[in-house]
A and B are shown apart, each in its own frame.
Chain A
Amino acid sequence: MLRSEQKPFEEIVGYLEGEKKIFILGCDGCAQASGTGGLPQVLEMRERLEEEGKKVTGHKVVDFLCQKALVSSGLRPLEDKVMEADSVLVLCCGVGIQTAAAMIAKPVHPGCNTINMGGSRGEWQGSERCMECGDCLLEYTGGICPLTACSKGLRNGACGGASNGKCEVSPEKPCGWELIYQRLKEVGRLDVMKKFIPPKAWNKMRPRPEMLSTSLWDIEQCDESIQEGVG
């Protein structure tokens, strides 16, 4: 389980500057549960973007956006709508955004920040990883997370340590920034490399108190109340 919250609408609109046609992608897994990327939020985002003068070519809520097979089968009937768009806005956790970016040959914009649940983990299959940093940078890195793809977690670009496309830390690990460069080149967004990413607010990565004391579906608290009733 990854918990997300939508980025401020102004920030999202800023990402879409210069683009007219948008496809919106949501997720019926964690993002639906978080109330950030289920069908109601996707439809609301569609309405708000249309009010901003954008044309929304289509939308889709995939069951689990972290699963490449489901992304692929879910989008296949809508391929025309996706390819007609200038870009895809993804309302999901950092894993789903990266999966979408890996699957779709279009610029992908993150619509959510993934926030830290203080150690609670679900499981998923795939190579994308999200550190729940609470301040998603995927907009500027081709939909590949520099915190998890780069061993040093460098935000502004590569160090000088790579050899033959592999990281200095491990010859098995690709240089995350070379992957980011390739992706940005593929989707024609190399210009975002010029943007300076200011020092990161690491405090956004700390779990908020409520994340440490509640579970999403309240099962634990239900159990407690039953026990109290019996006792």
Chain B
Amino acid sequence: MSLREALESGKFAITTEVGPLKGTDTTEVLEVAEILNGKIDGVNVTDQQSAVMRLGSLATCSILVQKGLDPVFQMTCRDRNRLALQSDLLSASVLGIRNVLVISGDFPTLGDHIDAKDVYDLDSEQLIWTINRMNEGYDLAGNELQGKTDLLVGAVVKPVSDTDESFELQLAMMEKKISVGARFFQTQAVYDVDAFEKFMKRAEQFKVPVLAGIIPLKSAGMARYMNKNVSGVFVPEDMISSMAKAEDKTATGLEIAARLITDVRDLCQGVHIMAIGWEKKVPEILRLANLA
């Protein structure tokens, strides 16, 4: 079943993601593809995540298509102007890629090429709007395409914020993204289910599938690091102390991830598991969450 079919069928959708390496080595991606094949509905491929230069999302998505998976081509607005973005969308289409996830993209100074020119010719909403134009057979400038795209467009939202302004803005952005053609959302990692429920109470009116972000914890230190440095991530103290006390931290981290999936199951339409190096453990998380 494709991601589009999964979302349309109303089944609890499961996506995960892989991050290409810095270099031409695709061994890990191929191994992960083999393990995940048939167990998930879609696999995101990150686009130079954290503004660190890496193998491209487009090429990696193409490899995943060849291996029989349904990749989600992540596209940031950071690095490409409107010509390059549209050209890559056409390229994605002919390579059999069917899903795109639109992101603003971390600023270059957060990555490993801090002197890079940031682009943001289009912002996320404008890129979503552009893709829908291309699906209708026209480029951004209004020229007719010879062969249109048929891409399912997703977007991101941060469900938990530290200021009221940010929380309200995220909902307003979500509504605007839907108004220009976003058809599903993947969220920042959720650890506080009550806070996520508060967000979903507001977001459910939009009637667009939301896939809650899940990042399995590897250690208490990782949780503290994310609380301090990753916008929108708030790991509760009791979860951090469970990780600190755990003898088998891997097992505890996977159990917490599975419990979070179970807890959000009735609140949203799916989960997006960002395993960050633990991609091969995703089937185990799904088994623990009774989804395999």
Contacts and interface: CB of A to CB of B under 8 A. Distances in A.
Interface of A: 151-165, 168-169, 175, 177-178, 181-182, 190, 193-194, 196-200, 202
B122 interface: yes
B46 interface: no
B163 A164 contact: yes
**Chain B: interface size category:** 35 or more
Given A154-B123, A165-B166, A160 B231 contact: yes
Nearest to B228: A163
Given A160-B232, A196-B179, A199-B140, A155 B126 contact: yes
Given A157-B173, A168-B107, A152 B120 contact: yes
A164 B162 CA distance: 6
B82 interface: yes
B156 to A, nearest CB: 6
B129 interface: yes
Given A157-B123, A169-B110, 10 more contacts: A151-B107, A154-B124, A157-B169, A157-B173, A160-B104, A160-B232, A161-B107, A168-B107, A178-B165, A199-B130
B166 A198 contact: no
Contacts of B77: 152
Given A156-B125, A168-B107, A169-B107, A162 B118 contact: no
- Interchain residue pairs A-B with the least CB separation, the first 8: A159-B104, A156-B125, A160-B158, A178-B165, A154-B123, A157-B173, A158-B169, A181-B165
A177 B163 CA distance: 12
Which secondary structure dominates chain A's binding surface? loop
Contacts of B156: 160
Nearest to B168: A181
Contacts of B49: none
Contacts of B284: none
B175 interface: yes
Nearest to B82: A199
A202 B166 contact: no
A202 B82 CA distance: 11
A152 to B, nearest CB: 5
